Amino acid sequence: MKVDSSLCVKCKGVRLLCGRPTCPILARFRHAKSISAIGKELCGASPPEVLVGSRFWPKVFVGPLLSTASPEEAQLFGDPEHLFGKSIEEVIGLRSRLVRSVLRVDVRRTAHAGNRLLEAVREVGLSQVGIEAEAKFSKPPKPVLRFDGILAPAGPSGRVEELRVVGNPKVPRVVERLVGDTNAKALDAVWELYKRGVSVYYISRLLSIGLLGKMRRRVLVPSRWAITATDSMVSRWLANRLRDFPELSEVWLYISEYAGNHYVVLLAPSPLSFELVEIWLPRSVWTAEAAQAFIESDCEDWRGKTLFSQLGGGYYAVKLPVYEFLYSIKRQAFAFAIREVTPNYWAPLGSWKIREALRRAFSLPPKKFSTVEEALREVAKAIDTPFDQWFPKARMLRRFLTQKRLDEFSAAE
């Protein structure tokens, strides 16, 4: 059956928009790397990391990722800052050492105490650093790799019958306070944690395992939803402050590349606005059978976004580091970004690679230009897709280039 490649890009193997019972693209990777067999018992450590599935909602699979490594070593397997810079093969090699121990839970009942296994799962997820745990499975975990467009790869998976946390979770005081505050809204808790320097990865984990928000609304949230929700909420908090800052006075350009992904971010003097053009070249992970590139875009002006982006979690994973950088320099701007996915991106690694690639890019000096037109000539050289193929999709950029501003009229007078 021939499948429209645009469906694959939007679905990323989760929503099964093609109508197939399983994703044929993900199936190719499930046996891509041999994994040593694991018995019915596992004593080791978690990075810490907990995954909450989205299939079969509201009865989902949830459980921590465990390994036979020490807590210090296991923590590196789940640390995006440690994983960044490694090749796709190296990332998969590290992540394949993590075993997903799962139990079936009805999310509508997770606010109620009494589930010993779920309480142990939450104890693992609550820790800021690697933590020791022991698991007993009903059967030896199946030796397959699992990939996802938003989540990092994970190794074998098995139904857990017993789970015991051996070590003591290390929990920052601000996290302990907000987890215990059952009257605070989840949005307020996320903002407070971010202001206090808690990483978005840790925040999304707390949100996913139902430890933030008002008591009656605390439920398990699929990990991929929690990651995107955290990016969105933090970006909104940053945007509310960016609008009060002066505009950037120059045109800056940042270019980055990692794991077969090209990133371009152009910042221009303007009230706060954002646009992303996403390009998936043929023979990349989600367009393996496509004859031509899939190009799509989405944008928002100074008022922010009211509807969920059609580009999915990638849109928010790009926007967050852009807004973080603007907040760090106390400036607002029109931010135009391109993410181009090349055939060298042969296996999905998760959205963490986007955040970390752009954060590293912003740590370097930008290329500076006097006009946006000059910067676009440099952008055309930085990506493989011809200018005339992606430029028509950049609605906000084209409007920015043709629209006169009030201060220009004032200068003319």
Q: Is residue 180 part of a domain?
A: no
Q: Is residue 345 part of a domain?
A: yes
Band (pLDDT 50/70/90 cuts) for residue 284 is confident
Same domain for 125 and 265, yes or no, is: no
Strand partners of residue 369: 251
Largest CA distance in the chain: 79
In angstroms, rounded to a whole number, what is the distance separating the alpha carbons of residues 224 and 349?
13
What is the pLDDT at residue 362? 98
In angstroms, rounded to a whole number, what is the distance separating the alpha carbons of residues 337 and 327?
17
Q: Is residue 43 part of a domain?
A: yes
Same domain for 281 and 401, yes or no, is: yes
For 146-175, letters b (16+ CB in 10 Å) and e give: bbbbbbbbbbbbbebeebebebebebeeeb
Strand order of the β-sheet with 99-106 is 41-46, 131-137, 157-165, 99-106, 59-66, 50-52
Count how many domains the chain has.
2
Strand order of the β-sheet with 334-341 is 294-300, 273-280, 334-341, 261-268, 251-258, 367-369
Q: Is residue 46 part of a domain?
A: yes
DSSP state letter for 199:
-
Q: Is residue 138 part of a domain?
A: yes
Residue 382 CA to its chain's centroid (Å): 24
Q: Is residue 47 part of a domain?
A: yes
Query: Does 32 have pLDDT greater than 70?
Result: no
Q: What is the pLDDT of residues 297-325, one digit of tens each?
A: 999 998 888 788 888 899 999 999 999 99
Same domain for 120 and 269, yes or no, is: no
Average pLDDT over residues 137-163: 83
Angle at 222 between CA 220 and CA 227, to 5 degrees: 110
Same domain for 257 and 375, yes or no, is: yes
Average pLDDT over residues 376-396: 95
Q: Is residue 202 part of a domain?
A: no
Q: What is the pLDDT of residues 169-208, one digit of tens each?
A: 999 999 999 999 999 999 999 999 999 999 999 999 999 9
> pTM above the 0.85 mark?
yes
Strand partners of residue 165: 133
Domain final residue, candidates 131, 146, 165: 165
Domain final residue, candidates 148, 165, 182: 165
Q: Is residue 214 part of a domain?
A: no
Same domain for 161 and 256, yes or no, is: no
Note down the domain range covering 120: 5-165
Domain final residue, candidates 144, 165, 186: 165
C-beta separation of 326 from 239 below 8 A: no
Q: What is the DSSP string of 178-192?
A: HHH-TTS-HHHHHHH
